[in-house]
Amino acid sequence: MNNILDIVGIENYIFLSVLLFCIGVFGVLYRRNAIIVFMSIEIMLNAVNLLFVAFSTYHQDAEGQVFVFFSMAVAAAEVAVGLAILVSIFRNLGSIDIANLKNLKG
């Protein structure tokens, strides 16, 4: 069977995932609710994952897709830790607004 990329073209995948990535970045930059920030980060990571898959098809080898599994696992672990921290913050602070975290400065 012939490669989907012959039809669509790898560039588009790249542009798409770059776009996604940037959306993630901006989300991280401009949202103050920790949960949403997490999600934005997830978007970034998934944008990359998407690209991985695209590339792996492009190169016709599986490594890329394997890597995606790695990264997903890692991301999950990360988020788990992140949420844990968030919980304790919520206990102490009663809010999950990252803008309130300004005790350490100077």
**Tokens linked to 17:** 């995932």
| Stretch 46-65 residues interacting with other proteins (CB under 8 A) | 47-48, 51-52, 54-56, 58-59, 61, 63-64
Give me the least distance between CB of 27 and other proteins, in Å please: 11
Residue 6 or 102 with smaller CB distance to other proteins: 102
Residue 1 or 29 with smaller CB distance to other proteins: 29
Task: Return the sign of the alpha-carbon dihedral for residues 69, 71, 77, 83.
Answer: negative
**Helices 63-93 and 34-59, packing angle to 10 deg:** 180
Residue 3 or 32 with smaller CB distance to other proteins: 32
> d(Cα 87, Cα 77) in Å, to the nearest integer?
15
According to the binding rule CB under 8 A, does residue 106 interact with other proteins? yes
